[in-house]
Amino acid sequence: MWAKMEFFQEQAVTSSDKAFFRLRKEIVEGVIPSGSKLSETELSTKYQVSRAVVREAINRLEACNIVERRANVGARVVSLSPEGLAELYQVREALEGMAARLAALHMSAEEVADLNALLNSQSHEVKSAELYYQEAGDLDFHYRIILGSKNSHLISMLVNGLYHLVRMYRVQLGMAGPRVTSAFDEHKHIVQAISNRDPELAEMLMRRHITYSKNNIEAKLQNSL
Amino acid sequence: MWAKMEFFQEQAVTSSDKAFFRLRKEIVEGVIPSGSKLSETELSTKYQVSRAVVREAINRLEACNIVERRANVGARVVSLSPEGLAELYQVREALEGMAARLAALHMSAEEVADLNALLNSQSHEVKSAELYYQEAGDLDFHYRIILGSKNSHLISMLVNGLYHLVRMYRVQLGMAGPRVTSAFDEHKHIVQAISNRDPELAEMLMRRHITYSKNNIEAKLQNSL
DNA sequence: ATAAGTTAAATTGTCGACAATCTATTGGTT
DNA sequence: AACCAATAGATTGTCGACAATTTAACTTAT
């Protein structure tokens, strides 16, 4: 059912790709704690590759805003903060709102049908409390709309950039599954607007959905700090 | 008067920085034509630096979406197209709209005063038809609002990413100064909304302003193709 | 003559070593 | 004791060479 999640199944062809993916994974999942320094030599011995490939991986992570680098000093994993989270969600609201608007205009009839089918399958699981995949389901929903915008800049910024940071916050604040049913209803309304080819409403609903999501995760952040 | 334009006065500390800035400049200004291939060895001899430096510069340009790279094949300068322009302005509308909204909330009273002063000085030049710096003036206006948002992600995406692409379109389509007076009026209304601390209106006006700007540049693009 | 297979040239990817810069420790001075 | 200067150590930045892959040219067979 979640077979269509091969979205970010980005395949590593070069050695730097592998280092980049591995390093990103370890950072996002907190194996490498946020705020810690990234030593090029240390990582090169740990990953059994040259310093050049580690360096390239770190440069890419810098472009994703996952690490901060200072010339002649080094790179540090970004540190998580309430302000950083708020900024992140403000950008998400802007970009995903636009994505929903464009999706209402550009998604094919088949893609809209698939999106409805996805929601129906999720509806069953929500009712029967099979919430195992709820996080993956949420991701799947958002990814489809982002891709449905057919805007390569939008897609790249969100998929390659922001979403890994969002996941970093989610994972490291340990929020497995909040707000399942209410989020599901919001998803339903968004899809309805897209089905009706109503760009303005789709954008507005998506923005409200993300604002709610922000408030929810911010509340959790208050507790965990 | 335009002294505050040291915004993107990013200073190059490392050798890669210099190569990156130089290469970006040559691409944006069309010295290196869009669509052409970037040979690492060729550039390294041309710039008198190691291939590693050029490589790092190209990687950074890829992160800016100024060049496209394929593993084991090489990098090409992106090619300009009406679709690419439309996508660019859709993202600009989303991000700068949000920037205007946040600027209405977060700009200091002093910053707002400076912004008003900027408009007044420009008003004089518009009336007296001294339009020499009108492009720089437009940039200055937009930059201040972007920085006024106080959102580092937003700032980074626009200043380090999109704006160079926008400028690439502007320069290579040879549009020096369109739409001066009407754009100036739009700027005035946006600043008014920010002065009134009206986020919703500021966002809406900024989005319309960018949409108009898009339509204008798209019309020119029709002629030049 | 066209198409597929093979080989050669050129380009990118990776590596280890050297140079330049920063950080921390040490020693000296007020 | 606090502050500044100099030095030693460690880390990053840059380089040229080698390895792997792709592209092109050339050969050969149908």
What is the three-class DSSP state of B68?
A: strand
pLDDT tier for residue B11 given thresholds of 50, 70 and 90: confident
Q: Which of B17, B65, B98 lies at the smallest CB-CB distance from A94? A: B98
Q: Among A62-76, B7-21, B202-216, which stretch is predicted with the lowest mean pLDDT? A: B7-21
Q: Do B90 and A151 touch (CB under 8 A)?
A: yes
Q: Which residue has the higher pLDDT, B25 or A221?
A: B25
* CA geometry: angle B104, B110, B111, nearest 5 deg: 50
Q: Is B9 helix (H, G, I), strand (E, B) or coil?
A: coil
- Nucleotides of strand D under 7 angstroms from a protein beta carbon: 11-17, 21-23
Question: Within 10 Å of residue B19's Cβ, how many Cβ atoms?
Answer: 24
Residues of B in contact with A104 (CB under 8 A): none
| b/e per residue B164-201 (b: at least 16 CB within 10 A) | bbbebbbebbebeeebbeebbebbeebbebbbeebbeb
CB half-sphere exposure, B81, CA atoms < 13 A: 7
| Per-residue pLDDT at B133 exceeds 60 | no
Alpha-carbon distance values, A219 to A86, A207, A216, B135, B181 (Å): 12, 18, 5, 44, 47
Report CA-CA distances (Å) from A154 to A39, A43, A96, A163, A176.
32, 32, 8, 12, 27
Low-confidence ranges of chain A (pLDDT < 70): 1-9, 125-134, 175-181, 224-225
Q: CA(B168)–C1'(C15) in Å?
A: 37
At B182 the pLDDT is 73
Strand ranges across the sheet with A67-70 = A37-38, A74-77, A67-70
> Distance between CA atoms of B94 and B57, rounded to whole angstroms?
28
pLDDT above 90: residue B7:
no
pLDDT score of A138: 85
The H or E element that residue B37 is part of is strand B37-38
Least CB-CB distance to A90: which of B71, B102, B156?
A: B102
Three-state SS for B1? coil
Distance, CA of B113 to chain centre: 23
Could you say which of B88, B97, B151 has the minimum Cβ distance to residue A153? B88
pLDDT, tens digit, for every residue of B63-103? 999 999 999 999 999 999 999 999 999 999 999 999 999 99
What A51-56 contacts at long range (C-beta under 8 Å, 24+ apart), as own/partner pairs, is A52/B52, A53/A15, A53/A16, A53/A19, A54/A19, A54/A23, A56/A16, A56/A19, A56/A20, A56/B56, A56/B59
DSSP state of A79: P
Separation of alpha carbons B22 and B47, rounded Å? 9
How many angstroms away from the CA of A36 is the closest CA of chain B?
20
DSSP string, B133-175: THHHHHHHHHHHHHHHT--HHHHIIIIIIIHHHHHHHHHHTT-
What is the sign, positive or negative, of the torsion defined by CA atoms of B104, B107, B109, B113? negative
pLDDT of residue B190: 97
C-alpha distances (whole Å) from B130 to each of A93, B174, B204 are 40, 20, 29
In chain B, residues with a C-beta closer than 8 Å to the C-beta of A153 are: 65, 87-88, 90-91, 162
- Measured in degrees and rounded to the nearest 5, phi and psi for residue A10 equal -60, 130
Residue B13 CA, distance from chain mean position: 23
Q: What is the pLDDT of residue A1?
A: 46
- In this prediction, residue A81 carries a pLDDT of 93
Nearest CA in chain A to B61: A63
**B125 to chain A nearest CA, in Å?**
34
Residues 6+ apart with CB under 8 A from A45: none
- Provide, in whole angstroms, the distance separating residue B51's CA from nucleotide C9's C1': 20
Give strand letter and number of the nucleotide nearest B41 (CA to C1'): C11
Pairing type for strands B37-38 and A74-77 reads unpaired
Sheet containing B67-70: order of strands: B37-38, B74-77, B67-70
Nearest-CA distance A189 → chain B (Å): 21
Which CB contacts under 8 angstroms, 24+ apart, belong to B127-134?
A: B131/B177, B131/B180, B133/B2, B134/B177, B134/B180
DSSP, collapsed to helix, strand or coil, labels residue B75 as: strand
| pLDDT class of B29 with cuts at 50, 70, 90 | very high
Calculate ∠ Cα A130-A138-A223, nearest 5°: 90
pLDDT per position as a tens digit, B32-64: 999 999 999 999 999 999 999 999 999 999 999
The predicted pLDDT at position A84 comes to: 94
Query: Encoding tokens for residue A217?
Result: 């995760």
CB B52, CB A53: distance < 8 Å: no
* Residues 82 through 141 of chain B touching chain A, CB cutoff 8 Å: 87-88, 90-91, 93-95, 97-98, 102
